[in-house]
Amino acid sequence: MNPVSNEETLLPIPNGWFAVAFSRDLAEGDVMRVQCFDTELALFRTRSGEVKLIDAFCPHLGAHLAEGGKVVGETIRCPFHHWQFDGDGQCVKIPYSKTGKIPKRAKVRSWEVVERNHLILAWHHAEGKSPDWEVPAVAEFNDPTWTDPRFFSVEVPVHMQEMAENNCDPVHFHYVHSAEAIPESTNTYAEDGRYYKAVSTNERETPMGRFKVDLVRETWGLGLSSVRLEGVPGAGLYMFSSTSPIAPKKTVSRWVLTVSRNIVDVMGDEYMDQIIKGLDDDMRIWENKIHRPDPVLCDADTFLADFRKWAKQFYSPAPEPRSPSA
């Protein structure tokens, strides 16, 4: 029997909602250079507070709009010749034009964005299709009985699907994260296909005692997920995250964490620190692995097999190859 090849198959960038920044990092009038979806982008907040995202390079002579660009009212002004572009990417003013006429091609691509859960999220679709599902709103972030959020971000040199796949791999909790045993787990996929829920149950020692707890992971598309710890009496622990494709093998994960105020001094910081430490446990594997499009699975890998089937829906078909010119 032939051995499995060491060649890597690169996955494309998937479709869906992905964070491009934390809301707190973009004040009114700010301009930010963003790299995401293997594309250079300009993110800015207008004087009315609206967040806009457009392709970065000016159609005039190619200057980067986020490198020296300035917000003027509801537009961003190019640093090179002061052409102004609105949030739809349309040039609306050329200050030195003799006629005031805007060339038809004076436009860059704009991206649909939403601001939710302390994140600025952009919709990516390889075929240019509009969003067909919404980013969920997390009630805990607006609840005074929960703490102000704590923020964390990390860059990982791996395709984002590899990170999302961990939620459907309860076995690795034992071998990588030192769980006492492989946790009992269930996975539930929603009828509309965009959402799934994974629950793993095990015994855990906490500052409040030893409890049988559920680690509840919810996922929306390949980019958005949450982690909730249930089973510790009176304790609320929650994290919402976005894992965003910067390039095919470059990912940034942004986390927003909160705990109920009644336990913040007892185990709040410990919970947040444990989640962050868990990332360190995974990092060496992610940094050095390749993607197996057709992995060799055993009889206990049913969750991984189901995840791979589910994940396929978030990729557009590869474009047809062009015929050679005559």
| Whether the predicted pLDDT of 2 surpasses 70 | no
Average confidence (pLDDT) over 27-41: 98
- Evaluated on CA atoms 252, 165, 232, 203, the torsion sign reads negative
Domain residues of the chain, as ranges? Answer: 16-124, 139-313
pLDDT category of residue 8 using cuts at 50, 70 and 90: confident
pLDDT for the residue 28: 98
Query: Structure pTM?
Result: 0.92
41-45, 259-263, 267-271: which has the minimum mean pLDDT? Answer: 267-271
Tokens (6 digits) for 64: 């980067």
The per-residue pLDDT for range 154-166, each reduced to its tens digit, is 999 999 999 999 8
Cβ(24)–Cβ(30) below 8 Å: no
Residue type, 141: F
pLDDT for the residue 165: 92
Question: Who contacts 71 (Cβ-Cβ below 8 Å, separation ≥6)?
Answer: 29, 30, 31, 44, 45, 46, 47, 77
- Evaluated on CA atoms 270, 273, 279, 280, the torsion sign reads negative
**203 or 163, which is more confident:** 163
**321 or 177, which is more confident:** 177
The per-residue pLDDT for range 265-310, each reduced to its tens digit, is 877 777 778 777 888 889 999 999 999 999 999 999 999 999 999 9
**Alpha-carbon span 64 to 46, nearest angstrom:** 18
pLDDT for the residue 4: 66
pLDDT category of residue 245 using cuts at 50, 70 and 90: very high
| Whether the predicted pLDDT of 48 surpasses 60 | yes
- Helix/strand/coil for 153: strand
| Whether the predicted pLDDT of 69 surpasses 70 | yes
pLDDT category of residue 322 using cuts at 50, 70 and 90: low
Show the CA angle centred on residue 189, arms to residues 184 and 194, nearest 5°.
Answer: 135
Kindly indicate whether the domain formed by 16-124 is annotated with CATH number 2.102.10.10: yes
pLDDT for the residue 326: 40
According to DSSP H, which parts of the chain are helical?
160-165, 170-175, 269-288, 302-311
Which CATH architecture group holds 139-313? Alpha-Beta Complex (3.90)
Average confidence (pLDDT) over 31-36: 98
Average pLDDT of the residues of the chain = 91
From residue 263, give the alpha-carbon distance in Å to each of 117, 258, 276: 22, 11, 19
Residue tagged 């969750």 (tokens): 303
Instruction: Extract the runs of DSSP E, i.e. beta strands, from 117-236.
Output: 119-124, 150-156, 184-189, 195-206, 209-220, 224-230
